[in-house]
Structure 1
Amino acid sequence: MWAWIILIVSGIFEAVWATALGKSEGFTKLWPTVTFFGALIISMGGLAWALRDIPTGTGYAVWVAVGASLAVIYGMVTGAESASLIKVLLLIGIVGCVIGLKIVSDHEAVMS
C-alpha cells in the first residue's frame, strides 16, 4: 500500500520537474532550475523506493502516466497548452489504464 502511495506522489513530482524544466529555459533561470533538481531527486528517489515492492514495468508505467497526465492538465489549466475534448478523453484513458494496472497488480499478488 505504501509503495503505491509513494509511487503516486513521485509521479506528481515528475510533473513538477517536467514543468520546471520547461520554465528553466535551458537552466538559465535560477528558481525553475532549483525546482527542477529538487523535484527530480524526490521523484526518482520515490520511484526507486516504490519499485522495491512494485514490478518495474508496472511501477514505471504508473509513474510516467501520473506525471505526464498532470503536466498536460497543468498546461491546459494555465493556458500554456490548448484544451480539447479529445485531450480530456485521452487523459481519462491514461488514468483508466493506471487504475487497471493497479487492479491487475493487486489481483496477481493475491493469486501468488
Structure 2
Amino acid sequence: MAWIYLVIAGLMEVGWATAMKYSAGFTRLWPSVLTIVLMLASFGLLNQAMKSLPLGTAYGVWTGIGAVGTALVGILALGEPRDALRILFILMILAGIVGLKVTSRS
C-alpha cells in the first residue's frame, strides 16, 4: 500500500506544481486553493508512504515522479521545448525512479 500512496503523492505533486503555475504568484484564487489542497494531500500521502519505505527511496521517488510529470506537462500542454537532450534527461530521472523501486527492500 505504501507504494500506491507514494505514486498518488507524486502525481499530486505534478498537480500542485501545475496549479501553482496557473496561480500567477498566488494572485488567482482557485488555482491557489488547488495548489495548497494538493500540496497538503501530497505531503500527507508521502508521510504515509514513509512509515514503511526508506526515507531516501520514498523522497527520491516522490520528487522524481513530480519532476518527470511536471516536465511532461510542460512539454505536452505548455509548449515547452522537447529537444532530444531534454527527453534524454527526463528518461534518466525515470530510470532513477525505477532503480530506487527495484532496489528497495519494502
Q: What interval of TM-score do these two structures reach, taking the shorter chain for normalisation?
A: over 0.9
Unmatched runs of 5 consecutive residues or more in structure 1: none
Q: How is 1:1-40 mapped onto 2 (pairs within 5 angstroms)?
A: 2-40=1-39
CA distance in structure 2 between the aligned counterparts of 1:42 and 1:82, rounded to whole angstroms: 30
TM value normalised by structure 1: 0.89
Alpha-carbon distance, 1:66 to partner: 0.1
Alpha-carbon distance, 1:80 to partner: 3.9
Q: Which runs of 4+ in 1 moved over 4 A?
A: none
For the aligned residue pairs, the C-alpha RMSD in angstroms reads 1.1
In the alignment of these two chains, the number of paired residues is 106
Unmatched runs of 5 consecutive residues or more in structure 2: none
SS at match of 1:54: coil
TM value normalised by structure 2: 0.94
> Percent identity of the aligned residues?
36
1:48-96 residue CA offsets vs partner (Å, 9 max, x unmatched): 0000010111100100000111001000001342111111111111111
